[in-house]
Amino acid sequence: MKTVTLTVKQAPELYLECENITPDTFAGKKADEIAQLPAYQGKEDTTLGEYFTIAGEAGATAAETQIILKGDCSKMKYIGIKMTAGEVIVNSSTDMYTGGWMKGGKIVVKGDVHSFCGLGMEGGEFLIEGNAGNYLGASYRGDWRGMQGGIIRVKGNVGSDVCTFMNGGELIVEGNADVHIATHAEGGRIVIKGDVNRRVGGQMVKGEVIVFGKIGLMMPGFKYIKDVDLEVDGTKARFAEHIGDLGERHPTRKGEPVYGKIFLKK
């Protein structure tokens, strides 16, 4: 793996659109070519080189490319979007759309991420060491195809609208979550080790949400079925299994409806 290091040299006046900071775009390029790659602030067309000092060179392919970002990237948007392979490591917080539509590879953010991160994720690994804003792992507005695959792990808390329209993949949150978790989900798995405010699994068709802490109020459309023993992310515990959302449609398998499930640790 070859490494390209970008160090912030000036903060953008507004926010910098960094859709070109991905292993796929950097692949095969040297530092000076990378510096010439476009970046944007509104109608201003600029380059990565105006805002970052760039050292190293990329690998021949995305898979062989590692990108390290140093300095304060909290006003950089779109880092790692649509990447298929390789690694991106950010040493600060990032702004919106980090890891959006990623298909593979690994992103590590050593800070918080803003909203709309991991949108429509299809594969790969996304590690957030701080907190995440809203719409983590959600679908793009209007799209019924949300997160398809891959794994997102958050060490801190997440906001609202988490994994809306989730179809597949996994999200693990070590901290707490706010409202509207797995709304409209049709697959996938979410694990929340902390507490959830409310509205878990609203309009859920299929999928699983596992909560270790408390849920402020269970949706009326979820019905307690039985207690089960599960091993979740290395921890064994007893959970109360709920099926639902009973206000929503559900597919059938062999004539029996297949429900979404909420497991609440006892």
| Residues found near other proteins in the complex (CB under 8 A) | 13-15, 40-44, 96, 115-116, 134-135, 140-144, 164-165, 179-180, 183-184, 198-199, 202-203, 217, 219-221, 223, 245-249
Between 193 and 250, name the residue whose CB sits nearer to other proteins. Answer: 250
Torsion of CA 172, 175, 177, 178, to 10 degrees: -160
- Exposure on the CB side of residue 79, measured as CA atoms within 13 A: 31
Q: Minimal distance in Å, beta carbon 219 to other proteins?
A: 5
Rounded to whole angstroms, how far apart are CA atoms 90 and 9?
15
Number of H helices and E strands in the chain, helices first, is 3, 21
Q: Minimal distance in Å, beta carbon 257 to other proteins?
A: 11
DSSP 36: T
Q: Minimal distance in Å, beta carbon 245 to other proteins?
A: 7
Between 58 and 83, name the residue whose CB sits nearer to other proteins. Answer: 83
Q: Minimal distance in Å, beta carbon 211 to other proteins?
A: 17
Between 60 and 217, name the residue whose CB sits nearer to other proteins. Answer: 217
Which residue, chain included where needed, has tokens 């004539």?
A: 255
Q: What is the DSSP string of 98-133?
A: TTTT--SSEEEESS-B-SSTTTT--SSEEEESS-B-
CB atoms within 10 A of CB 22: 26
Q: Minimal distance in Å, beta carbon 141 to other proteins?
A: 5
Between 49 and 133, name the residue whose CB sits nearer to other proteins. Answer: 133
Backbone phi, psi, residue 222, to 5°: -110, 135
Between 193 and 261, name the residue whose CB sits nearer to other proteins. Answer: 261
Rounded to whole angstroms, how far apart are CA atoms 230 and 239?
7
Q: Minimal distance in Å, beta carbon 142 to other proteins?
A: 4
Which of 131, 134, 122 lies closest to 93, judged by CA?
131
Between 84 and 115, name the residue whose CB sits nearer to other proteins. Answer: 115
H/E segment holding residue 192? strand 186-192
